[in-house]
Structure 1
Amino acid sequence: MAGEKRARWGGSEFYDLLCLMMIGACGWMVGVQLGAFRALDAIMIDHGLSELVMLGCFVGLGAFVASLHKSLRLRRAMLERDRAEEQAALSARHDSLTGLANRRRFVERVDAGFRREAGEIAAVFVIDLDRFKPINDLYGHAAGDAVLCTVAERLEQVLPPGSLAARLGGDEFAAMLPSSVGSDAVARIAQSVIATLSLPITWQSSELKIGATIGIAVASESVADAEAALHAADLAMYQGKRDGRGSFRFFERAMDDALRARALMECDLREAILGGQIEPFYQPVVSLHDRELIGFEVLARWRHPERGVLPPSEFIPIAEETGMIGDLSYGLLRRACRDAASWPPHLQLAINIAPQQFQDRWLAEQILAVLDETGFPAGRLEVEITESALIHDLEATRATLTSLQNLGVRIALDDFGTGYSSLYHLRELKFDKLKIDRSYVNSITMSDERAKLVDAIIKLGSSLGLVTTAEGIECSGSLGWLEDQGCDFGQGYLFGKPMSKSEADQYVEGGTTEVSAKTAAERAAA
Structure 2
Amino acid sequence: MSGGLVLGRFRSLLGSSGHAKAEQSVDLTGQELQEAVLLLQDYEASGLGWFWASNGDGRITYISDCVAQLLGRERSAIIGEPIQALFILERDEEDQVERTLPLLLSARKTFSDLQVRAAIEGKETWWSISGRPQFDGNGDFCGYRGNGNDITATRQSQRDASRLAQYDSLTGLANRHRMGKRLSATLTAYQTAKRSCAVMMMDLDRFKAVNDTLGHPAGDELLKQVAGRLTRIVNEAGCEIGRLGGDEFQIMIPDLEDRGRLGELAKSIITMVSQPYQIEGSRCVIGASVGIAIAPYDGINSEELIRSADLALYASKGGGRGQFRFYSSELHSEAERRRQIEEELRDALANDQMHVVYQPIIDTKTNRVVTLEALARWTHPELGDISPGVFIPIAEETNLIGALGDWVLKRACMEAKAWPGGVRVAVNVSAAQFGNTGFASVVAQALAHSELPPERLELELTESVFLGDEGATSDMFTQLKLLGVRLALDDFGTGYSSLSYLQHAPFDKIKIDKSFIRGITQPGNRNSAIIASIVSLATALEMDTTAEGIEAHDELHAMRKLGVKQIQGYIYAAAVPSDDVTEALLSGEWVIEPEGPSKYRPERRTVLRKVGLIHDDHRYEVMMRNLSRTGCMVEGLLDVPVGTPFVVDFGDGQLAVAVVRRSAGSTQGLEFEQQLVDDGAGGLCTRHRVSPYILAQVMTPATGAGSLGLTIPRFGQIDTGKPRSKVA
Question: For the residues of structure 1 that align with 2:368 and 2:221, how far apart are their CA atoms?
Answer: 58
Q: Measure how far apart 1:468 and its partner are.
A: 1.6
Question: For the residues of structure 2 that align with 1:139 and 1:466, how far apart are their CA atoms?
Answer: 38
Question: For the residues of structure 2 that align with 1:271 and 1:375, how far apart are their CA atoms?
Answer: 29
Check 1:146–1:365 CA distance in 2 against 1; reply closer, same or farther (3 A cut): same
User: What secondary structure, in the 3-state scheme, does the structure 2 residue paired with 1:298 have?
Assistant: strand
Q: How does 1:515-526 map to 2 (within 5 A)?
A: 519-521=593-595
Q: How does 1:185-200 map to 2 (within 5 A)?
A: none
Q: Is the 8 A contact 1:495 1:523 kept in 2?
A: no
Q: Is the 8 A contact 1:390 1:421 kept in 2?
A: no
Question: For the residues of structure 2 that align with 1:463 and 1:433, how far apart are their CA atoms?
Answer: 12
Q: Measure how far apart 1:304 and its partner are.
A: 2.8
User: How far does the alpha carbon of each residue in 1:161-217 deviate from its partner, in whole angstroms, 9 at most, with x for none?
Assistant: xxxxx9986566999xxxxxxx97999xxxxxx9xxx9xxxxxxxxxxx99989889
Q: Measure how far apart 1:331 and its partner are.
A: 1.4
Check 1:500–1:138 CA distance in 2 against 1; reply closer, same or farther (3 A cut): same
Question: What residue number does 1:264 align with?
Answer: 340
Question: For the residues of structure 2 that align with 1:400 and 1:325, how far apart are their CA atoms?
Answer: 19
Q: Is the 8 A contact 1:291 1:514 kept in 2?
A: yes
User: What secondary structure, in the 3-state scheme, does the structure 2 residue paired with 1:274 have?
Assistant: coil
Q: How does 1:446-525 map to 2 (within 5 A)?
A: 446=522, 449-475=526-552, 478-479=555-556, 482-483=559-560, 485-514=562-591, 519-521=593-595
Question: For the residues of structure 1 that align with 2:532 and 2:256, how far apart are their CA atoms?
Answer: 52
Question: For the residues of structure 1 that align with 2:218 and 2:366, how far apart are their CA atoms?
Answer: 57
Question: For the residues of structure 1 that align with 2:591 and 2:535, how far apart are their CA atoms?
Answer: 23
Q: Is the 8 A contact 2:315 2:335 kept in 1?
A: no
Question: For the residues of structure 2 that align with 1:464 and 1:167, how far apart are their CA atoms?
Answer: 44
Greater fraction of residues in strand: 2
Q: Measure how far apart 1:405 and its partner are.
A: 1.3
Check 1:510–1:309 CA distance in 2 against 1; reply closer, same or farther (3 A cut): farther
Question: What residue number does 1:314 align with?
Answer: 390
Residue 423 (1) aligns with residue 494 (2) = no
Q: How does 1:136-151 map to 2 (within 5 A)?
A: 137=215, 139=217
Question: What residue number does 1:413 align with?
Answer: 489
Q: Measure how far apart 1:138 and its partner are.
A: 6.8
Q: How does 1:25-424 map to 2 (within 5 A)?
A: 137=215, 139=217, 234-235=310-311, 238=314, 253-344=329-420, 346-391=422-467, 394-424=470-500
Residue 436 (1) aligns with residue 527 (2) = no
| Paired AA for residue 268 in structure 1 | E
Q: Is the 8 A contact 1:280 1:332 kept in 2?
A: yes
Greater fraction of residues in helix: 1
User: How far does the alpha carbon of each residue in 1:8-39 deviate from its partner, in whole angstroms, 9 at most, with x for none?
Assistant: xxxxxxxxxxxxxxxxxxxxxxxxxxxxxxxx
User: What secondary structure, in the 3-state scheme, does the structure 2 residue paired with 1:340 have?
Assistant: helix
Check 1:271–1:291 CA distance in 2 against 1; reply closer, same or farther (3 A cut): same
Q: Measure how far apart 1:463 and its partner are.
A: 0.7
User: What secondary structure, in the 3-state scheme, does the structure 1 residue paired with 2:549 have?
Assistant: coil
Question: For the residues of structure 1 that align with 2:556 and 2:290, how far apart are their CA atoms?
Answer: 44
Q: Is the 8 A contact 1:217 1:223 kept in 2?
A: no
Check 1:521–1:256 CA distance in 2 against 1; reply closer, same or farther (3 A cut): closer
| Paired AA for residue 390 in structure 2 | E
CA RMSD after TM alignment: 6.0
| Paired AA for residue 270 in structure 1 | R
Q: TM-score, normalised by structure 2?
A: 0.42
Check 1:488–1:262 CA distance in 2 against 1; reply closer, same or farther (3 A cut): same
Question: For the residues of structure 2 that align with 1:421 and 1:369, how far apart are their CA atoms?
Answer: 32
What is the aligned-residue identity percentage? 34
Question: What residue number does 1:67 align with?
Answer: none
Q: Is the 8 A contact 2:318 2:394 kept in 1?
A: no
| Paired AA for residue 594 in structure 2 | A
Check 1:480–1:345 CA distance in 2 against 1; reply closer, same or farther (3 A cut): same
Question: For the residues of structure 1 that align with 2:206 and 2:419, how far apart are their CA atoms?
Answer: 50
User: What secondary structure, in the 3-state scheme, does the structure 2 residue paired with 1:506 have?
Assistant: helix
**Which structure is richer in relative contact order (CA contacts within 8 A, separation 6 or more)?**
1
Q: Measure how far apart 1:384 and its partner are.
A: 0.4
| Paired AA for residue 505 in structure 2 | L
Question: For the residues of structure 1 that align with 2:223 and 2:322, how far apart are their CA atoms?
Answer: 21
User: What secondary structure, in the 3-state scheme, does the structure 2 residue paired with 1:258 have?
Assistant: helix
Q: Measure how far apart 1:301 and its partner are.
A: 1.9
Check 1:331–1:524 CA distance in 2 against 1; reply closer, same or farther (3 A cut): farther
Q: Measure how far apart 1:457 and its partner are.
A: 1.6
| Paired AA for residue 267 in structure 1 | E
Q: Is the 8 A contact 2:316 2:323 kept in 1?
A: yes
Q: Is the 8 A contact 2:257 2:294 kept in 1?
A: no
Q: TM-score, normalised by structure 1?
A: 0.56
| Paired AA for residue 346 in structure 2 | R
| Paired AA for residue 514 in structure 2 | R
Question: For the residues of structure 2 that align with 1:439 and 1:263, how far apart are their CA atoms?
Answer: 30
Question: For the residues of structure 1 that align with 2:403 and 2:566, how far apart are their CA atoms?
Answer: 30
Unaligned runs of 5+ in 2: 1-165, 181-196, 226-237, 259-265, 267-271, 273-285, 600-727
Question: For the residues of structure 1 that align with 2:473 and 2:361, how far apart are their CA atoms?
Answer: 26
Question: For the residues of structure 2 that align with 1:476 and 1:126, how far apart are their CA atoms?
Answer: 39
User: What secondary structure, in the 3-state scheme, does the structure 2 residue paired with 1:470 have?
Assistant: strand
Q: Is the 8 A contact 1:458 1:485 kept in 2?
A: yes
User: How far does the alpha carbon of each residue in 1:258-307 deviate from its partner, in whole angstroms, 9 at most, with x for none?
Assistant: 32221012223322222222211112223334444323111222223345
Larger radius of gyration: 1
Q: Measure how far apart 1:235 and its partner are.
A: 3.7
Question: For the residues of structure 2 that align with 1:351 and 1:212, how far apart are their CA atoms?
Answer: 26
**Number of residue pairs matched?**
403
User: How far does the alpha carbon of each residue in 1:339-369 deviate from its partner, in whole angstroms, 9 at most, with x for none?
Assistant: 1122235221101112343333332222223
